[in-house]
Structure 1
Amino acid sequence: MNEPGIVTLNTENIGGEHICCAISDKKCANGVKLKKEWLQQRFQEGLRFKKLDVRQKVFIEYIPAEYAWCPVEAPGYIFINCFWVAGSYKGMGYGKKLLGECLEESGATNGAIAVTSRTKRSYLSDKSFFTYNGFEVCDQAPPYFELVVLKFKEDAPTPKFKQSVHEQKTDVVKGFQVLYTAQCPYTDHYVGELEDCARERSIPVETRRIASAGEAQSAPTPYTSYSLFYNGHFITHEILTRSKFEKNIDGWIEKYGLPSAE
């Protein structure tokens, strides 16, 4: 059997290529469309999306840090926006190969960075893979986010999260608030499910899609694809299904109180 190659998406081939995420979830068809549109707009900013030529989630997506949709200060670095190797393809060297192409072709002068977490969590790249390949933790943010870096030069400035991440303030303190982007094809559908569920419980809910890199770079959490807050408290970056959301509502109310009155 021939070894599958690596495909680099661009404005010419993106229409006919699957983008790995959500390919088996028919509910997310509109989210896939929005994601492809988002990618098209980012290509001119230097975004690269490389994937193994298989119909599975084996890909890496990266962009110069100054254009990253993440509140980081990292001049001259490449920001690894998303990196995923499906379980059936782990341990076969594909992750290392994709990372190697990123580091060689990124054009970064100072190095590469990625957002991870202290312990393994859904939707965040596994920190252990990065540290095994020479990355080091260079900053942390509440409640569990970490920034890892691989410097190309010892004297390069050390990247860090912006102050908005450490303050973690939102402009809404009543009920639920979801900040999200089109970076992930899952968000469009599941944010809608969350809205419906909250309103059925008569709990105020506001959803806001971040529309620019500038807005994302002043966000209160590093994972701008999706962040859920309740009464101003950060809850999770994990994109919740309706059942997961319903399962946890009462616990959040018990911990943070009922939504404040008008």
Structure 2
Amino acid sequence: MEFVKLTYENMDKEHICCAISNNKDIQVMSKKNWLKERLDEGLVFLKGNVRGKCFIEYIPAEYAWAPIWAEGYMYIDCLWVSGQFKGHGYSNFLLDACIGDSKAKGKKGLVTLSSKKKMGFLSDPKYMGYKGFQTADTAEPYFELMYLPFEEDASLPRFRDSVCGHGDMPEGFVLYYTNQCPFTAKYVPILEGMAKVRNAAFQSVHIQTREDAQNAPSPFTTFSLFYDGQFVTHEILSEKKFDKILVSKGL
């Protein structure tokens, strides 16, 4: 398979692999705009030259949209290989490419957001462990910050203190999200509309700067839903899944 690195020149024509075929779809447009604004910060999006999910996205940790301390590391936003592309070694190729690039840029190592067990939108802890990653820090209820140091004395990455404080949130639902994932452009307005119909208190917080992301109350800034100050889920919800949550809250 041929692999393509996204640039300003090819961004508009390249498929970004997230199961959306139309480049004019609001989801694709929001994601590509977000990517374009990160390229000068060192973001790399390397993808298979296919219309499917086979890519890795990473950025210097100082510019990561995540509440972490990991100076000198490279942060993996997403490594996603699925469907017909699984089982061909593409995950290894993409991760090895990231490792080689990061070493060439003088980084201390790699860091990524994972979980106690495999969950959607997060790095697979079993695979990352197999590749030599270790757990550097944890955050409730299930988040794990995994890292792969290139040096024996590399400093240990950790979560920022903001992930521990949820006490000042308003009652009801509070949703934090960014445009890092294209699906939020579609589903956030849907969830807002459902909450309004059910008279459910619902506040969405659109994180639009790196600074705000790095001080967010959840490790996963792409999408994190809280209810009465308690974390509910990081999974980008469909109508059916959000309906189940509303019912569970008596709404």
TM-score range (shorter-chain normalised) is: over 0.9
CA distance in 2, matches of 1:182, 1:127: 25
Task: Judge conservation of contact 1:149–1:159 (CA < 8 Å) in 2.
Answer: yes
1:141-175 residue CA offsets vs partner (Å, 9 max, x unmatched)? 000000110000010100011111133x1643221
TM-score (normalizing by structure 1): 0.91
Task: Judge conservation of contact 1:138–1:158 (CA < 8 Å) in 2.
Answer: yes
1:54 equivalent in alignment to 2:50: yes
Q: Which runs of 5+ in 1 are unaligned?
A: none
Q: Which runs of 5+ in 2 are unaligned?
A: none
1:193 equivalent in alignment to 2:190: yes
Counterpart residue number, 1:232? 229
Amino acid of the residue matched to residue 104 of structure 1?
A: G
Give the match's secondary structure for 2:41. Answer: coil
CA distance in 1, matches of 2:169, 2:221: 16
CA distance in 2, matches of 1:114, 1:43: 19
CA distance in 2, matches of 1:158, 1:5: 35
Task: Judge conservation of contact 2:19–2:52 (CA < 8 Å) in 1.
Answer: no
CA distance in 1, matches of 2:204, 2:68: 23
Amino acid of the residue matched to residue 166 of structure 1?
A: C
1:100 equivalent in alignment to 2:100: no
Q: CA deviation at 1:87?
A: 2.9
CA distance in 1, matches of 2:187, 2:194: 11
Alignment RMSD: 1.6
Task: Judge conservation of contact 1:22–1:32 (CA < 8 Å) in 2.
Answer: no
Counterpart residue number, 2:74? 78
Task: Judge conservation of contact 2:47–2:55 (CA < 8 Å) in 1.
Answer: yes
CA distance in 1, matches of 2:188, 2:34: 18
Give the match's secondary structure for 2:153. Answer: coil
Of 243, 247, 261, 2:244 maps to 247
Give % identity. Answer: 47
Counterpart residue number, 2:164? 166
Q: CA deviation at 1:230?
A: 1.0
CA distance in 1, matches of 2:3, 2:220: 27
1:91-117 residue CA offsets vs partner (Å, 9 max, x unmatched)? 211000000111111224210000000
Of 146, 153, 156, 1:155 maps to 153
